[in-house]
Chains A and B, each alone.
Chain A
Amino acid sequence: MAKAFTPGLKVTARTTYRVRRLLPVTGEVRVKVGDRVSAETVVAETFLEGDVFPIKVAGMLSVNPTELMPLMLKRAGDTVQVGDALARSKGIFGMMKTEAKSTAAGTLESVSESTGMVIIRGAKTPVQVRAYVAGKIIEVIANEGVVVETDALFVQGIFGVGGETWGPLMVAGKSHAEDLREEHIDASMKGAIVVGGARMTAGGIRRAREVGVAALISGGIDDADLRDVLGYDLGVAVTGSEKIGITLLVTEGFGDIAMAKRTFQLLLAHVGKTASVNGATQIRAGVMRPEIAVPLGEASSGEIFTGGATAGILDIGTAVRIIRDPHFGLLGSVSALPEQPAVLGSGSKARVLEVALESGQRVIVPRANVELVGE
C-alpha cells in the first residue's frame, strides 16, 4: 500500500521556527546575516510601481492617432500634474485650439500612434516588510528578503481571519473549556494577544475590538458571529487580508468547542512574552493555516519548522481529534485500525478506525474524519 498520511496541526512546546520574509517585488534588504531583530524591525523595503492611467488624448483633440505626436506638449518621461495640458490641437487658422488635460498625476510613460492613448504612471508606493517574529537573521535573499530564525512555542490553528500582528500574550478566563465572553476582556488588554478557552462569543469579540486587542485566540467561533464581524458570509477559506482591526484565530473549529487542554496550557505557560500571530488561512492547494509563535530565544531544539501543512502516519496509540459529527471535537487515541472497509451510518463504505475517547468510550469513525494531535 502507498503511505496514507493523515493531516494534523502542529502544536509544539519548542521548535526551531524559520520564517521567510519576502518583498512582493525586488527591493532593498535592510539587515544582514547574524542581526537580531524584533517583530517590528523593517527587514526589507521597496517601491511598488505606480498605478497606470490611460488617457485617450487623440479622441479628446478629435484627431487621428497618427497625427498626435507633433501635438504633444509633454514627452515620455515628463512629470505631469492633474490639469496639465498634455497636447494641443492646431485649431483653425491658429484659433480655437483644444487642449487635452491630464486627469492623473505621475510620469508620462508612453504615447500610442496606433490608438492615440497616453499612459500616465502614478507615483510609486513604498512597501516595507517587517521581521514579524523576534529572532536572528540566518539568510539574506539578495534584493528579496530574509529568513528569520528563533526557537519558539508554536501552535497552528485551524482557521483565522486578519493578518499578522504581535503583542504580549495574555489569558482571559480560567480554563480551556470556558467560553471567551465580554466580561473577560478589559482595557489592560489593548494591543495584546488574548487567549480564551472555548468559543469566542459575539460579545467577547465586540469588546475586544472596542478595547483594541491585537488578536483573540480560542477553541471555536460561531458561524453567525464570524459573519457579523466580517459583514458577509465567508464562501471560501482564503483569508488574511481582512481589515477588521483585529486578528481572530480558532484552534479547533466552528461551534461550541473547547480548546485542546494541552494547547491552552502551553500558551498559559508563556503569559507576558511577546507572541506573533497570523490569521491568514488558505485551504486550497498549498494549505496555509493560521499560527501563533512565541519566541523563546536562540535556536537549539534541532527540529526545524518552516510552516505549511503537516501530516503523519496513523498507528495504534496515535493521539487524534475527531473532526466531523457525530463526535466532532472529541479527543482520544487510536485503539484499532481494521483493514477492511466498514459500512457507515450514511450507507457509505469507508476505511475506519476505532478511537478510545478521553471519557473511556470507544467509537468507530472513518479514517478521513480524524486528524493528528500533538507534536
Chain B
Amino acid sequence: MRIVATDCGSTTTKAILIEEKDGVFRQTFRGEAPTTVEEPFADVTLGVANSVTELQELSGYKLIADDGTIIRRKSASDPDGCDLYISTSSAGGGLQMMVAGVVREMTAESAKRAALGAGAIVMDTIASNDRRKPHEQIQRIRELRPDMVLVSGGTDGGDTKKVVEIAELIAPARPRPRFGGEYKLPLIFAGNKEARSTIERVFSGEGFALSVVDNLRPTLERENLGPARERIHDVFLEHVMAHAPGYDKLMTWANAPIMPTPGAVGDILQTIAKGRGINVVGVDIGGATTDMFSVFGGVFNRTVSANLGMSYSISNVCAEAGMDSVLRWVHLDMDERELRNRVKNKMIRPTTIPQTLEALVFEQAVSREALRLAYIQHKSFATTLKGVQQQRTVGDAFSQKEAGGSLVDNMALDLMVASGGVLSHAPRMEQTALMMIDAFEPEGFTEIAKDSIFMMPHLGVLASVNPRAAMEVFEKDCLVVLGWCIAPRGDVRAGRLAFEFTLRQGNEVAAQGQLIGGEMRLVRFGHGEVGMLEVRPERGLDMGAGPGKAVTREVRGGSVGIVLDARGRPLKLPTSANERRACVEQWLKALEIYE
C-alpha cells in the first residue's frame, strides 16, 4: 500500500509518502513546496502538486499526472500512483471562530474547549459575565470576521432566558464572515435544548446558516464536546474550505475529509496517550502561534497562543516576556539595542534563519520564553470543570482540590513531544531537549521526544482511515526519542547534595553519582538501550513518591540520553547577572549544547 499525505500550511505545503513494506508501514520520503492559496496562484492544489512532485522525484514513482492531479493505483502491482491520499490544512490563517456562552467560566469555557479541540483559533469568547457592557460586546462581534460562530449556554432543561439574551446580542450585530460577502455565516447552537426553537427564531433572518447540535454542557457535571466538534469539522469543510481557493478540487482528491491541522495533531496525541495509558504534553511552536496539547487522565485539551511565535510574533514574545527574561538564558555578550532591532527585522522578514551561533543562541532563548508563556496559558485553561458542586468527605479536607484546578501536573507528566521549526530544526538534539526542559520544567521522570519532520498532522488524519498505519509510522518514523529529564520537585540548596542516582542495565551498574543543588549533568544513553534508574532525593525533594523517597523506573535511551537536573522546581535562576551567566554556562557545557 502506498499513501500520500499533505499538510497545507500558511507558507509551506508538506508532503510525505508512506509505504507498506514487509507488512509494516514506514514513512519513506518527504517533499515540500510553497503554499499557493494566495494570489497570484490562488489555488491550493498547485502547491500540493509541487510538493508531491518532490516525492515523485525522490521516490522514483510517478505520482503526478500530466494534468497536475494525483495518480491513483488501480492495483497493488501498478508501479505508478498511490492508493490513498489525505490532507490537513491551516492555510489562510486556519479556522477562525467566535464562541459564546452564558457564564464565562462554565458554558463559554466549554464552548471554547470544543472549538479549540476541533482545531480552531478562538478570536473572542462572549459571555454574560465577561465584564463588557452589552453594547461593547456587540461592537466587538461586529469587528470580528469569523469563519463560524459557536453558541452554547444553559444546561438541558434549565433556564433559557440567558442563552436567548446572548443570541439576541449576536443576531443584530450581524457579524460578517471572513471570506466572501455572499455566503451566510455558519452558526452552531450547542446549548440548552429547551431554547432551540427560540434560537431558531432569533437567527431566522438573513445572514446566518444555523445548525443545532446536542448541548455541549448538558449538566454542570458533564461536558459533551463530541457533537459540537464534529459539526465544526463539517462546517469547516462545507463552508470555510469550500470558499478557499482550490479546496473544492482538493476535497475531491482526498479519501478522507480535510482536517484543520491542529485538530489532526490533537487526534494523534490522544490516540498515543490512550494506547500507552500515559499523560502527554505536545507543543507545536510556529512562526505566528504556539499550539499546546495535553492529555492528563484521559482528558484532552488544546490551547492556541495566538501571538506567541518565532517569526511573525517574535517581537510580541519579547514584549510580553520582557527582554530581561529572554536574556537570562543567554551566556554571551549581546547589545540590547541591536537585539531589539534584530527582533523587529525578524518580524518583518519572517523567513530568515540564524546564520551565526550568537543569533541561534538568542532565538533559542526567545523560544524558551514563548514556550513558557504558552504553557502558563495552557495550564490555566486545561482545568477540571468549573461550577461543579464538590462532594467531600472528612478525609478530603487535607487533600482537597478545588473545582477548576489545573489538570496539568508536571509530576504526572510522562511524555513531552516537541515540534515546530525552532525545536525540530535545532542543529543539535541536546538544544531541543534543554529548550523543552527550561520552558516546561518537568518534574520526576519525564520522557522527551520530538516530531522528526512534523508528521503528526498527516498521521492524525491517517488514523481516521488506517489506524494501524498511523500508529506504526508514529512509533517508528515520527517520534524521535531524545531521552529523559530527571528532576526533583522542591527547593535545592546551592552546593548541597540534591540527589544520588544509579543506572543499572541487568546486573551491571552503567552509571552512578551525586548531583549537587543547581547542577545539571548528561548521561549518554543511546537508542535501543534500556535500564533501571534509581534516584534517591535528599529530604525535602520529591521525585514522585514523596519528599526524600527513592524512586526506581525503567528508562529507554534516546539521541540525547538522560538529563539529570538538580536545579530544583520551580526553576529559579540566580538574580545576580554574573552568577546567572556562570550557571547558564555550566548547564550548556554539561549538556554539550553548543559544542
Contacts and interface: CB of A to CB of B under 8 A. Distances in A.
5 contacts: A235-B313, A237-B312, A253-B345, A328-B345, A346-B427
Interface string A45-82: 00001011110000000000100000000000000000
B360 A347 contact: yes
A117 interface: yes
A350 B425 CA distance: 10
B345 A254 contact: yes
A99 to B, nearest CB: 21
B355 A324 contact: yes
| In the A-B complex, the 9 residue pairs with the closest CB atoms | A235-B316, A347-B427, A346-B360, A255-B341, A2-B50, A2-B33, A254-B341, A254-B344, A233-B319
A323 B349 contact: yes
Indicate the member of B31, B165, B348 with the most A CB atoms within 10 Å.
Answer: B348
Interface in A305-331: 308-309, 323-326, 328
Contact of B343 (A1, A223, A309): A223
Contact of A368 (B338, B347, B351): B351
Contact of B347 (A104, A237, A308, A328): A237
B172 A346 contact: no
Interface residues of B, number: 70
A284 to B, nearest CB: 6
Interface string B113-131: 0000000000000000000
B420 to A, nearest CB: 15
A365 B288 contact: no
A368 B352 contact: yes
Given A234-B319, A237-B312, 9 more contacts: A2-B50, A54-B135, A104-B135, A223-B340, A237-B348, A285-B37, A286-B38, A308-B39, A344-B353
B37 A345 contact: no
A22 B84 CA distance: 44
A335 interface: no
Contacts of B38: 285-287, 308-309
Interface stretch (A108-116, A175-183, A206-214, A293-301): A108-116
Nearest to A3: B50
Nearest to B37: A285
Interface residues of A, number: 59
Contacts of B173: 52
Interface string B330-370: 00000001101111111111111111110110000000000
B93 interface: yes
A344 B353 CA distance: 10
A158 B34 CA distance: 21
A142 interface: no
B139 A325 contact: no
A218 interface: no
Interface SS, B side: helix
Interface of A: 1-3, 5, 7, 49, 51-54, 65, 104, 109-110, 112, 114-115, 117, 119, 121, 158-159, 222-224, 226, 233-237, 253-255, 281, 283-287, 308-309, 323-326, 328, 344-350, 365-366, 368-369, 371
Contacts of B172: 52, 109-110, 119, 121
B31 A2 contact: yes
B359 A346 contact: yes
Contact of B356 (A281, A346, A350): A346
Contacts of B554: none
A324 B345 contact: yes
A65 B165 CA distance: 12
B135 A346 contact: no
B183 interface: no
A5 B127 CA distance: 45
Contacts of B315: 233-237
Nearest to B426: A348
B579 interface: no
B594 interface: yes
Interface of B: 10-11, 31-34, 37-40, 50-51, 53-54, 57, 91-93, 134-135, 138-139, 142, 160-161, 164-165, 168-169, 172-174, 198, 202, 288, 307, 312-313, 315-316, 318-320, 337-338, 340-357, 359-360, 425-428, 594
A326 B168 CA distance: 57
Contact of A255 (B345, B359, B594): B345
A368 B352 CA distance: 5
A5 to B, nearest CB: 6
Contacts, number: 186
A54 B168 contact: yes
A77 to B, nearest CB: 14
A51 B139 CA distance: 7
Contacts of A226: 344
Contacts of A254: 340-342, 344-345, 348
A128 to B, nearest CB: 20
Contacts of B135: 51-54, 104
Contacts of B350: 283
A281 B348 contact: yes
A136 B69 CA distance: 42
A1 B345 contact: no
Nearest to B50: A2
Nearest to A238: B312
Contact of A285 (B91, B165, B357, B428): B91
Nearest to A364: B355
Contacts of A308: 38-40
Contacts of B34: 2, 5
B348 A159 contact: yes
A351 to B, nearest CB: 10
Contacts of A222: 337, 341
A179 to B, nearest CB: 15
A154 to B, nearest CB: 17
A114 B198 contact: yes
B349 A324 contact: yes
A347 B319 contact: no
B93 A284 contact: yes
A283 B312 contact: yes
B164 A112 contact: yes
B42 to A, nearest CB: 11
B161 A236 contact: no
A284 B288 contact: yes
Contacts of A51: 135, 138-139
A7 B356 contact: no
A117 B165 contact: yes
A326 B341 contact: no
Nearest to B135: A53
Nearest to A121: B172
A369 B54 contact: no
Nearest to A284: B312
Contacts of A285: 10-11, 37-38, 91-93
Contacts of A253: 341, 344-345, 348-349
A121 B51 CA distance: 51
A90 to B, nearest CB: 22
Contacts of A255: 338, 341-342, 345
A5 B47 CA distance: 12
A104 B138 CA distance: 14
A368 B50 contact: no
Contacts of A159: 344, 348
